[in-house]
Amino acid sequence: MRSVLAVVFTIWVGLFALSQVETQAQERDTPSIVFYEDRDHGGLSWDDFQGQVPGDKKVSEEAEIAWGIAFSSWQNVTEHSEGECVVKPKPGTLKIRAFMFPKRSWVKPGSKTAALLGHEQGHFHLAHIYAQKAQRLIDGLIREGKLLGKGKDCAGARSALQREIEKVVERYVEKCDEIQRLYDKETEHGTDGDQQTVWDRKIKRWLEKPNDTPDP
C-alpha cells in the first residue's frame, strides 16, 4: 500500500514535460496516464489499478499506486541584449500536475476493500498537494522575474531555463516521496485504522491549505 515509485524513478518522471510523457505513452505503448485534475477531486476506483501483481513472495503490501509529478511545456517570453538571450516562461502557461499510471498500479485479488482504496487515494492526494506547492512557487518566481534562462543564443537559454524548472520540481518530488513514505510507515500501509484516520484528516487539511505541508 505504498507508492511504487522510488525516489529516482519519481524524479525521472517528474522531469519530463507533460507533452513528452503523453507522447511517449502513445509511441512506446507505455501505460495510460490519469491526471489528478481529470477526476473529481482526483477520485480513483479499483478499475484504475490494472497492473500485474508482483510475483515476489516478499511483497507484503496488498496494493501499490504508481504516482508522479510532471510539468507541461510553456510559452516563452524572449528578450535580447548584446551577446545574450534571456528566456522566461509566459505567466500562466507552465503547469505542474500529479498523475498516476494505471498499468503500473496493482491490487491483489480479494483485497479490493473501500478502506484500502481510501489509503491509495491518500497517496494520489499527496502527489497533488505537492504539485500544487510546486506550482505556487513557480508562479511566484515567474511573477518576480526570477525564473529565467540565459545563454549566448536562445537555444542555450531555453536549455538553461529547462534545467532551472527541473531543479524546482525535483525538490518537491523528493519531499513528496519522503511524506509518502512517512504516510505508509505511520499507517502501516493503511492497516492501522486509527493512524489512517489521523492521516485522512491531515490530508484533507492539506488539500485545503497546501502551504501547511512540510516544505522541501
pTM equals 0.85
What span, in angstroms and rounded, lies between the C-alpha atoms of 38 and 35?
5
Mean pLDDT on 190-215: 95
Handedness of CA 37, 42, 48, 52 (dihedral sign): positive
Task: Please say if the pLDDT value at position 187 is more than 50.
Answer: yes
Exposure b/e, 105-115, CB count within 10 A at least 16 = b: bbbeeebeeee
CB 189 within 8 A of CB 119: yes
Instruction: Supply the pLDDT for residue 11.
Output: 36
Q: pLDDT band at 24, cuts 50/70/90? A: very low
Percent of the chain with pLDDT over 90: 69
